[in-house]
Structure 1
Amino acid sequence: MPERRVKLRGIVEGNGSGETLVVHGRLSFYGEVDPERGTLTDGRSIAGRVLIMEGGRGSTVGPYILYALARRGLAPSAIAVVEAEPILVAGAVMASVPLASGLPPRLLEELRDGCRARLYSKPPSAMLIVEC
């Protein structure tokens, strides 16, 4: 896949780059992320990665997990989602993780782990650049 540039809606300001980590579906930071290791339940590390997913889900404890990851240096460098819900937004704000929404669902299906990605978020706009 050649370089792709996708305009998104910036929600939490900041810039982040790294390898992509693609999660199909919605992720709950409470129960599906180990805050001690910075890994998903399937063992993949989210530390320093650009997390690409449909969105967040559930528990009000989720923002505290994302904050704990940031305090340990294990948070994702940025998050790009199809749809951002309030719990994910709160966590990204607390952890100072750049967050953007409006990712085309088709792109989510095309991306894979290990691509190079950069997210530039300056609300109300953002730009995701991906190279696979």
Structure 2
Amino acid sequence: MAIQTINCRKISRGHVKGNIIISKDPLSFLGGVDPDTGIVTDREHDLYQQNIGGKILVIPSGKGSTVGSYVIFQMAKNKTAPLAIIAMEAEPIIATGAIMASIPMVDQPEEDVLEILKEGNLVEVDADTGIIEILK
């Protein structure tokens, strides 16, 4: 049973459950994340040296070059990609990457998930219906 349900806008279809990794900084996948390992390499980012692979990534938005979409796609092929992406505001780079890589993605949550969610929370992202359920 969910502790809390949050409605969002659907970006890329899919349904997953996992632990979150959260950042208050926008993330650039091109030059900011190693697609071979899933580790954040941007020294200025608050997730520096942390692995985003296999977790539900919560960010305010993406940033950077359009090539970032292909980095996300490469991460999916390498099995180093996030399980899902929750953004306050999806911009075209990360949205396109999530769609190309078949990574569930939602944005525009009805509540400020950057304040509500905590590192390691277990959440279920249903990007088919646009719902996040906080499980613990």
Q: Do Structure 1 and Structure 2 share a fold, with TM-score over 0.5?
A: yes
TM-score (norm 1): 0.90
1:52 is the counterpart of 2:50: no
Map of 1:11 onto structure 2: 11
Alpha-carbon distance in 1 for matches of 2:64, 2:111: 20
1:83 is the counterpart of 2:89: yes
Structure 1 residues 44 and 127, CA gap change in structure 2 (3 angstroms)? same
Q: Answer with 98-107 or 62-71: which moved more.
A: 98-107
Contact 1:22–1:112 (8 Å) recurs in 2 = yes
Q: Answer with 33-42 or 63-72: which moved more.
A: 33-42
Task: For residue 121 of structure 1, report the CA deviation from its aligned partner.
Answer: 1.0
The 5 Å alignment of 1:1-132 reads 3-41=3-41, 42-104=48-110, 106-122=112-128, 125-132=129-136
1:116 maps to a residue whose letter is L
2:53 maps to a residue whose letter is A
Contact 1:50–1:118 (8 Å) recurs in 2 = no
Task: For residue 105 of structure 1, report the CA deviation from its aligned partner.
Answer: 6.2
Structure holding more strand per residue: 1
Alpha-carbon distance in 2 for matches of 1:83, 1:104: 11
Contact 2:33–2:40 (8 Å) recurs in 1 = yes
Equivalenced residue count is: 129
1:98 maps to a residue whose letter is P
Contact 2:6–2:111 (8 Å) recurs in 1 = no
Cα-Cα RMSD: 1.5
Aligned identity (percent) is: 33
> Is there any run of 5+ residues in structure 2 with no aligned partner, and where?
42-47
> Is there any run of 5+ residues in structure 1 with no aligned partner, and where?
none
Structure 1 residues 72 and 34, CA gap change in structure 2 (3 angstroms)? same
TM-score (norm 2): 0.88
Contact 1:20–1:116 (8 Å) recurs in 2 = yes
Moved over 4 A (4+): none
